[in-house]
């Protein structure tokens, strides 16, 4: 995607590599911008979406050392679509291993959607490693949020939700998550590929305030669709491998960290109620509602807010 005008110009990484783990996974990482700049870790969404070149552009390359990584099983990490040893604690451990690999003492952590989930979980596990948190499109992975994503979203996107549901035989539609998960983990491409395309294009169709054929096409590509849908379903059926409601319950661990919450008013994928709940539990965080935006980080108003916040942090060390 080309990205809104508020983003910095495209840049290329000056270093990249594959981080080894104790198991089969190898984690792709890259660094761009200023090698002596403020370290910032971009935490992508999904889970399973992977990173893209435009995600480097939220940060001033003269002032930031920009770190992107593909979480287990997606993007340029290998093996693609792998679910073994793919849990939230594993991802947190990967982030810490990458920090150590890159010799970073602490960094600004930036994440949206599932990236906000993982950023919160990482910060609560390692608060001393976080200079600040920039969070967008808050997702706390509570049962009501997953139910909204698969069913309640029809209040705004009935056509997309109907297509998602009607792909599944009628006698299985009372539990779309289980029905899709069963198909997505099936080793037969004739079973998992069409299910992956349905799930991924449904999510893309609901992610922007105005329709984006470009985003639907990107999510619907065979590689992205498989990792996004399979890994999302894997995490959702397992309650993201964390205790129920733990992200809100443990906010006290991170209330001292400078933080910004940016939320699109009309975010249908991660509705504003979750951001509101987080902001109420964390009054020290600055909470900014973008009045004319949906879910995507590349919505013009959201992109402007995120870039402005990172510019502010680089200049002052504060997010407000």
Q: Note the pLDDT tens digit of each residue in 205-228.
A: 999 999 999 999 999 999 999 999
Proportion of the chain above pLDDT 90, given as a percent: 97
CATH number of 15-141+241-316: 3.40.50.1820
30 forms beta bridges with 16, 68
In the set 90, 181, 234, 295, the catalytic residue is 295
- Within the chain, all domains assigned CATH 3.40.50.1820 are found at 15-141+241-316
Average pLDDT over residues 305-313: 97
pLDDT at 1 > cutoff 70:
no
Give the global pTM: 0.97
pLDDT at 4 > cutoff 90:
no
Q: 126-185 pLDDT, tens per residue?
A: 999 999 999 999 999 999 999 999 999 999 999 999 999 999 999 999 999 999 999 999
pLDDT at 125 > cutoff 60:
yes
Average pLDDT over residues 29-37: 98
Contacts within 8 Å (CB) and 24+ apart, 216-225: 218/1, 219/49, 222/193, 222/196, 222/197, 223/80, 224/49, 224/50, 224/74, 224/200, 225/193, 225/196, 225/197, 225/199, 225/200, 225/201
Average pLDDT over residues 33-54: 98
Query: Which residues touch 169 (CB under 8 Å, ≥6 apart)?
Result: 179
* Catalytic residue flag (residue 267): yes
In the set 113, 207, 212, 227, the catalytic residue is 113
Both tokens of 151, joined, read: 């069913």
Neighbours of 202 (CB within 10 A): 27
Residue 5's pLDDT band (boundaries 50, 70, 90)? confident
Q: pLDDT at position 2, please?
A: 60
Average pLDDT, the chain: 97
pLDDT at 73 > cutoff 80:
yes
Average pLDDT over residues 289-302: 97
In the set 116, 234, 267, 296, the catalytic residue is 267
pLDDT at 81 > cutoff 80:
yes
Q: How far is CA 271 from CA 98, 130, 172, in A?
A: 31, 26, 26
Average pLDDT over residues 236-249: 96
- Whether 29 contacts 19, CB under 8 Å: yes
Residue 319's pLDDT band (boundaries 50, 70, 90)? confident
* Catalytic residue flag (residue 52): no
- Whether 150 contacts 128, CB under 8 Å: no
* Catalytic residue flag (residue 113): yes
pLDDT at 275 > cutoff 80:
yes
């Amino acid at each position: 995607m080309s990205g809104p005008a508020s983003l910095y110009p495209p840049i290329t990484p000056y270093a990249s590599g594959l981080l080894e783990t104790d198991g089969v996974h190898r984690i792709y990482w890259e660094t761009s911008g200023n090698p002596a700049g403020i370290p910032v870790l971009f935490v992508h969404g999904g889970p399973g979406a992977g990173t893209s070149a435009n995600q480097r552009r939220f940060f001033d390359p003269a002032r930031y050392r920009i770190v992107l990584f593909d979480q287990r099983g997606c993007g340029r990490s290998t093996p693609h679509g792998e679910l073994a040893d793919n849990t939230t604690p594993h991802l947190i451990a990967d982030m810490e291993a990458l920090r150590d690999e890159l010799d970073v003492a602490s960094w600004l952590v930036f994440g949206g959607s599932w990236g906000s989930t993982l950023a919160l979980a990482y910060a609560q596990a390692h608060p001393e490693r976080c200079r600040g948190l920039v969070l967008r499109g808050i997702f706390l992975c509570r049962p009501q949020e997953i139910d909204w994503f698969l069913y309640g979203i029809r209040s705004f996107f009935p056509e997309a939700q109907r297509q998602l549901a009607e792909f599944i035989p009628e006698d299985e539609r009372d539990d779309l998550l289980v029905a899709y998960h069963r198909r997505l983990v099936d080793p037969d491409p004739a079973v998992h590929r069409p299910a992956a395309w349905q799930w991924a294009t449904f999510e893309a169709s609901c992610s922007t305030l105005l329709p984006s054929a470009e985003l639907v096409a990107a999510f619907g590509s065979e590689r992205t669709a498989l990792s996004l849908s399979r890994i999302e379903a894997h995490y959702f059926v397992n309650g993201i491998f964390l205790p129920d409601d733990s992200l809100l319950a443990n906010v006290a661990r991170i209330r001292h960290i400078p933080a910004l919450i940016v939320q699109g008013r009309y975010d249908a994928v991660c509705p504003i109620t979750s951001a509101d709940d987080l902001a109420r539990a964390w009054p020290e965080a600055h909470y900014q509602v973008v009045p004319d935006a949906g879910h995507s980080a590349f919505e013009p108003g959201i992109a402007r807010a995120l870039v402005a916040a990172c510019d502010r942090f680089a200049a002052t060390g504060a997010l407000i």
